């Protein structure tokens, strides 16, 4: 798998290995995922074809280290996979993205036994991994969560509600943050692995969303869920720190998703303006249209370079990763919203209809400004971690 040596690359040129990976994922995405994207969105159904194709090609969780049966791909390779899938279907790109989000706490802080069991199962395609941090009254203020975990001999008993959980109900495994010592606020939060089949786990109805309709977003209910004590991730009280460390890395995957959505919209708009004729010539020949396309391409490339640089820092565990992860996510998602909106504008009335994919891309792009920390929160993170 591309990038086993770590993200030591020229910012202006990907390594041959990374380029080969991009081409392979693009071919797979166009052949096996793109044909279903519109229907997945229209009916709000899980993109099973995408999961099957990604698992068959070991692309569903490329970040899992080789010692646990994974591909051992570096952070940039993971970005490329997500970017290329998002270019044709944002909902499908949440399969590799959320598999990393959900499992990275185990990879960063879990015991060797947890890593062998759960990272191995993920790598083998035995189930997807989701991440349970947010709650009905704890969104941006995640430390204000109310879900509790209480020790009972050789078990932990979990009670609470998690909201906005991506791929909930489809994933087999869940990293759940819960309060183990309410007196300590963030330092009293611990992380656990919960399985879909654990008694007391249930799910709410799928949310009716603006975009990414193929990726189910549901509440997760924990009603006296009794799990073995060894399913705690790291030491008691370290869950919030693990959650924040995870987001430093995975915000870059949201930036990658934003890049892919924006690239898909730009590609479609470029093709359309060459074919669409008004006043006797292709609208691509009008300077106003050319300026729009130039701005779209310029901003997309700036976002891409920032995202790839952040991926390199994620791989090297650089000290300024927190700033770069937030910056990449914030900038790339703002750019994606702008580019997809402009793509709709370039198609005119056609862009506003479901007969063309850019309106879907515009709807899908919006969530990249919101999840894994709103862009207002990203700006707070950046201000506190200026390099």
5 within a domain of the structure (yes/no)? no
Could you say which of 238, 257, 278 is where a domain stops?
238
**Domain that includes residue 144, residue range:** 129-238
Q: Is the pLDDT of residue 5 over 90?
A: no
Same domain, 245 and 233: no
For residues 346 and 269, the answer to whether their CB atoms sit within 8 Å is yes
Q: In the structure, what pLDDT confidence band is assigned to residue 1 with cuts at 50, 70 and 90? A: low
Calculate the average pLDDT of the chain: 96
**Residue 176's pLDDT band (cuts 50, 70, 90):** very high
d(CA 110, CA 350) in angstroms, rounded, equals 50
**Lowest-pLDDT range of 6-15, 34-43, 119-128, 215-224:** 6-15
Out of 238, 258, 276, pick the residue that ends a domain.
238
**Average pLDDT of the residues in 19-24:** 97
CA proximity to 31, closest of 105, 92, 109, 78? 92
pLDDT in tens, 326-363: 999 999 999 999 999 999 999 999 999 999 999 999 99
**pLDDT at residue 6, rounded to an integer:** 47
Question: Quick one: pLDDT band at residue 7, thresholds 50, 70, 90?
Answer: very low
* Same domain? 315 vs 283: yes
Q: Other C-beta atoms within 10 Å of 387: how many?
A: 10
Rounded to the nearest 10 degrees, the angle between the axes of helix 34-43 and helix 90-109 is 90
The verdict on 372 and 258 lying in the same domain is yes
**Does one domain contain both 206 and 143?**
yes
Task: Say if residue 248 is in the same domain as residue 373.
Answer: yes
* 204, 112: one domain: no
SS3 label, residue 277: strand
At 276, the pLDDT band (50, 70, 90 cuts) reads very high
Note whether 325 and 232 are same-domain residues.
no
Which residues are CB-neighbours of 8 under 8 A, at least 6 positions away?
A: 312
8-state DSSP, 49: H
Tell me: do 232 and 177 sit in the same domain: yes
Q: For residue 348, give the CATH number of its domain.
A: 1.20.140.10
Residue 372 known to be catalytic: yes
Residues 319 and 212 in one domain: no
Share of the chain above pLDDT 70, in %: 97
- Of 223, 238, 253, which residue sits at a domain end? 238
Dist. CA 58–CA 52, nearest whole Å: 10
The total domain count for the chain is: 3
Q: What is the CATH number of the domain that holds 20?
A: 1.10.540.10
Find the catalytic residue in 71, 83, 359, 372.
372
Whether residue 111 sits in one domain with residue 46: yes
Share of the chain above pLDDT 90, in %: 95
3-class SS of residue 3: coil
Backbone angles phi, psi at 27, to 5 degrees: -60, -45
pLDDT, mean of residues 122-144: 95
pLDDT for residue 11: 57
Residue 317 lies in a domain: yes
Does pLDDT of 2 surpass 80? no
Q: Which pair of structure tokens corresponds to residue 38?
A: 């519109």
Instruction: Tell me whether residue 7 is in a domain.
Output: no
Would residue 325 count as lying in a domain? yes
What CATH number has the domain bearing residue 147?
2.40.110.10
């Amino acid at each position: 798998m591309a990038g086993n040596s770590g993200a030591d690359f020229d910012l202006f040129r990907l390594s041959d290995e990374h380029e080969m990976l991009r081409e392979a994922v693009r071919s797979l995405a166009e052949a096996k995922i793109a044909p279903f994207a519109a229907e997945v969105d229209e009916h709000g159904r899980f993109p099973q074809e995408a999961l099957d194709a990604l698992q068959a090609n070991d692309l569903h969780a490329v970040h899992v280290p080789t010692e646990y049966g994974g591909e051992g791909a570096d952070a940039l390779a993971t970005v490329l996979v997500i970017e290329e899938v998002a270019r044709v279907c944002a909902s499908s790109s949440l399969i590799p993205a959320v598999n990393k989000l959900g499992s990275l706490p185990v990879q960063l802080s879990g015991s060797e036994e947890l890593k062998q069991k759960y990272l191995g199962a993920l790598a083998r395609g035995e189930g997807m991994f989701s991440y349970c941090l947010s709650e009905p009254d704890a969104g941006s203020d995640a430390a204000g969560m109310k879900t509790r975990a209480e020790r009972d001999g050789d078990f932990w008993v979990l009670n609470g509600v998690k909201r906005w959980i991506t791929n909930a109900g489809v994933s087999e495994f869940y990293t759940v943050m819960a309060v183990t010592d309410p007196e300590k606020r963030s330092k009293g939060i611990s992380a656990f692995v919960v399985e879909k089949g654990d008694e007391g786990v249930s799910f709410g109805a799928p949310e009716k969303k603006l975009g990414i309709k193929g990726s189910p977003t549901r509440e997760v209910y924990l009603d006296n869920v009794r799990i073995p004590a060894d399913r705690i991730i790291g030491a008691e009280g370290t869950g919030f720190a693990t959650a924040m460390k995870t987001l430093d890395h995975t915000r870059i995957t949201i930036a990658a998703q934003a890049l892919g959505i924006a690239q898909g919209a730009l590609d479609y708009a470029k093709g359309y303006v060459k074919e669409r004729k008004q006043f006797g010539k292709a609208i691509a020949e009008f300077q106003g249209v050319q300026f729009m396309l130039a701005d779209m391409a310029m901003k997309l490339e700036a976002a891409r370079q920032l995202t790839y640089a952040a991926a390199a820092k994620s791989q090297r565990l650089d000290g300024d990763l927190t700033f770069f992860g937030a910056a990449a996510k914030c900038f790339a998602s703002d750019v994606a919203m702008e580019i997809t909106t402009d793509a709709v504008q370039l198609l005119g009335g056609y862009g506003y209809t479901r007969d063309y994919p850019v309106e879907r891309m515009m709807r899908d792009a919006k969530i990249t400004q919101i999840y894994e920390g709103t862009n207002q929160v990203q700006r707070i993170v950046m201000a506190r971690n200026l390099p």
